[in-house]
Every structure is written in C-alpha cells, then in structure tokens.
Structure 1
Amino acid sequence: MKENFKEYKLETRDDFIIYLRYLIQLGQRQLYYFKLYLKEMELDIERLRNNGIIDGLTYEKHRTSIAFLTIYLFNLIGDESKGALSYRKFRKLAEKKEIGLIPLNDKIKNILVEANNARNWSCHIPESYLHAEFEAAKKHNKNFSKEGVIRIPSPIIVTIHKTHSIEWLMHLVNDSKNNRDNFVNVLLQMKKDFSILIGYRMEVLTEYSTDLNTLDYHVDIPGFSIQMQNK
C-alpha cells in the first residue's frame, strides 16, 4: 500500500517522541522571534509615548509581524484540521493511546480551546466581520449602513491612515503579552510531556549560529510538503 505522507501517523511511543520533539523545535524558534517583536513594540511605545502618535506604516509593520507569528503559534498548539501538525491533536491521540502522559490541567485545556477558536477565526476572513462593521458603525454613530451602501455604491472609499494614536500599539502589546504567556505555558507543558516520554528531564539548547543560512536545504522542505499534500 502506498504510504500517505499527508499525515504523520502516531502509533508507537517513538512516533509520539518524534512528533512532539518537532513541535517543541518549531514553538521554541517562533516564540524567540515573538518575544523580540514584542520588545521592539515596547521600545516604540516608550519612544513615542510623549508624542502620542505613531506613523501608520510603522504600526502596520508591527501588527503584521506579530500577527504572522501569533497565527502560526495558534495553529501549532490548537489546530485540529485534518493533516495539521499541532499539540492539541497530539494530546488527544496520546490520551487514546494511553502512553502514560499526565492529564492536562484546566488552565492548559482552556488555552488549547481558545487557541483552536482563535485559529479558526483568524485563518480566514469571517463573514461575521461584515456584520460587525455595520454593528460597530451603529454603536459609534458612524455614517456606514447597508442602506447607505446601496444608495451610493460608488465610489468605494479605501482609507489609509498616515498616523495612529499610540493607544493602538499599546492595545496590540497588551494582547500580544497575553498570547505570549499562553504560548509559554503550553510550551512548558510540551516539555514536561517530552520528559515523560523519553524517561528523563529534557533540555533545549538554543544555538546562535554565525554560519550563513542558505536556501538549499530549507527551501526544499515546504516544496516537498506541498508535493505530498497534492498527491
């Protein structure tokens, strides 16, 4: 029978070790950059606090950088879709196979549920967003309604703000700190699980390599993965 590379089967204890080890590697690396981006935002808040204004493009760079990693980590811990690599899926399969892991506490369980909800919402543009636009406009007395759109459908106005209130960045930092704390807690739980699986206390060593990082090996990984997904 032809092997199915779209999914990584978790059957044996070794399978679970290989799978969780990879999750920890990915999570550790992305969380490293997440913390750096968060620090950069905090430095900009301190620099711009007295002025109270941040350049629109600078804010968008912060927002898109941290959003990319946030969605990545939500997926890594909370995705349950078919063929997805995630800790939530790992734990559910581990419970079925009864491989000896300690049950999760309510805090970690809730984080995984929230991560699943967040990735389901953020990995596509929900139609509820359109409803929310009209509801928010009504609440704040903005001139935006279904009737208004039908009455004057064109021209379509696209607003690009050149500046933002610093509160926008402060709000982004607060949300990101909450997410960071959740990601850290789940990563710690992954490491506890891994220690149980291998039978001794695991460790993570971060290497700050000065070698030039070239494309050759790394560019093949997503390429091979896409080929496997489409077979």
Structure 2
Amino acid sequence: MSKDPKKFDFQTKEQLIELLNLTIELVDKHFYRYCAYYDELIDMTQAKLCDIQGSEISKIDDSNMRNEIMNAIKMDNYKLKHSSYRIDYLEYKSIEDKISNVQSQLLNLLGDRTKKGGVSYWRFRYEYKKLKDEKKVELPELDVLSQDMNELLNEMNSARNYMHHMTDAKFIEWINYRKKQMLEHPGVFQKWPDSVITSDRYENVDVEWLWQLVLSQIDFKKSVREILQQMKKDYSCIYGESMRIQKKWIDELDATAFMVSINGIKRHNGDLK
C-alpha cells in the first residue's frame, strides 16, 4: 500500500504478478461479453446486407465484411431505396450502447496511462520498468514491445481519452456543426444559442451508422486479441511458467463479490484507510 489508501505502491515482483494476473482476468471476462455483443452486431449487419442485395449471402465474418459492404454500396438500388434501409434509432443504439460500454472497460484496462490509481496493462509495464531500473528489483527481461504493439497501445489510450470525456476537440466540432446548420438551414436555427434549447429525437438512423460501427469494431476486436497475447507472454515471463486461461463455467453469479465494489467505493471516498 501507500500513504494514500486509494493508491498502491508497488515494491515487489509478487505485487506485479498480482497486477497483471487480475488485469488479464478482467480483460478476458470483458472480452467474453464483448464478443457476444460483437456477434449480434455481425448478425444485424448480415441481415441488412441481405436486405439490400435482395438475397441470402454466404456467412459474413471479419475477413469479408468490408468487401460485402462496399459491394452493397455500389448497387444501383442503394441510392434509389436508401431510405428503406434505415434502422430504428433505439434498435441501433441498443447494440451500440452495449458494445461501447464493455469497449470502454477494455480501453481502461489496456489504454489507461494513469501512473497512480489506475489499473491497466500500461501501468504494469510502467511499474515493471520502475522496479527494475530505479528500485533495482531483480526481474526477468520482458520482450521489447514492437512498433506495431506500441502503436496499438497508443491507439487504445487515445480512444479511451476520446470516449471517456467530452473533449474540447469534440466541443469545437459541435460548435462548427451548429454554425453550419444555421447557415444552411436558417429556418431551423434562427438564433443559437437561444433561450430555448432544442434536444433532437430520432425515429431512425441511416444505414451508414451501422457500417461505421461494425468496421470500427472489427479493428478493435483484432487489436484486443493482439494485446492480450502480449500480456500472456509477459505473465509467463514474470511468473516463470507458461500460463493459460482456464474457462470455468459456474451456474450462477451470486452476490458475494458485492463487497469488492462496496469497499472499493468506500476506499475511493476515503472511508477506508
């Protein structure tokens, strides 16, 4: 522990093993749910592509999804019947919300670069180097991360920061979009900002929203798999034995783990020392 009860001060190899062990376990659990929602998204996309092409098509997966979407967009009826391919707003948002929620949890575990108080794979690498180089703890040499792996982790960090905050960059783009609306549709926004704040509601979304969601998730799923493999290599190295993840199926998730969240909140609020 450290002087701050909310933060952990790593001192030993065993504590690093605990950090990486729990991080891998949580990534695997979240990724299991992510893959279930991902399959729902693939099924929704395949159904929409069948609707556009007017016939059943062979099973769509990660390898051919982009080509199938491009083929559909090139069809003559795509523009002619574009409005008929729209998706119910809440139906689309329900799958987007499920995926983005668990995606955010994965991004935290893979991309959070908080040096104190944030559990992530990056934190493990940071604390590992600190113990080995500064505190001279005897530790085995980990693989030097490749340029591709470093780029993946940088992307995870950038995506995490973008998704978890209403950033100035996003704020600026909304202002620009609103001003553009005023110029192009003066009857809709005669004045902005105004004393009346308009909050839009939608019945449907264009099918392009589905395309961008599924293509982005194909890339994300692949990235998580690659980083998880590197985490496993690191764990085998520091633990000193080849590791594996054992899938243990249990009939019921009971309430015994509630205390982890309850005490975690108390510790975060300073009620536990």
TM-score with structure 2 length normalisation? 0.76
1:95 to 124, 129, 135: 129
Question: How many residues get paired?
Answer: 227
1:142-189, CA deviations, whole angstroms, 9 ceiling, x for partnerless residues?
438998304xx1432221111112221121111111111111111111
Q: Percent identity?
A: 25
> Which range is displaced more, 20-29 or 44-53?
44-53
Partner of 1:33: 33
Alpha-carbon spacing, 1:123–1:105, altered in 2? closer, same or farther (3 Å):
same
Residue ranges of structure 1 left out of the alignment (5+ in a row): none
3-state DSSP class of the match of 2:87?
Answer: strand
Alpha-carbon distance between aligned partners in 2 of 1:138 and 1:230, rounded to the nearest angstrom: 42
Alpha-carbon distance between aligned partners in 2 of 1:48 and 1:146, rounded to the nearest angstrom: 34
Alpha-carbon spacing, 1:15–1:48, altered in 2? closer, same or farther (3 Å):
same
2:119 to 79, 85, 96: 85
Alpha-carbon distance between aligned partners in 2 of 1:207 and 1:142, rounded to the nearest angstrom: 58
Structure 1 residues 106-185: aligned runs within 5 Å: 106-136=147-177, 142-143=184-185, 148-150=191-193, 153-185=194-226
Contact 2:236 2:242 in 1 (8 A): yes
How far the C-alpha of 1:134 sits from its partner, in A, is: 3.2
Alpha-carbon distance between aligned partners in 2 of 1:142 and 1:94, rounded to the nearest angstrom: 55
Give 1:35's aligned amino acid.
C
Q: 1:230 aligned to 2:269?
A: yes
How far the C-alpha of 1:39 sits from its partner, in A, is: 0.7
Alpha-carbon distance between aligned partners in 2 of 1:103 and 1:116, rounded to the nearest angstrom: 19
Contact 2:87 2:204 in 1 (8 A): yes
Superposition RMSD in Å: 2.4
Alpha-carbon distance between aligned partners in 1 of 2:232 and 2:242, rounded to the nearest angstrom: 9
> Which range is displaced more, 201-210 or 117-126?
117-126
TM-score with structure 1 length normalisation? 0.89
Alpha-carbon distance between aligned partners in 2 of 1:62 and 1:120, rounded to the nearest angstrom: 22
Partner of 1:218: 257
Residue ranges of structure 2 left out of the alignment (5+ in a row): 52-83, 133-138
Question: Which of the pair has more CA radius of gyration?
Answer: 2
How far the C-alpha of 1:135 sits from its partner, in A, is: 2.8
Alpha-carbon distance between aligned partners in 2 of 1:86 and 1:92, rounded to the nearest angstrom: 10
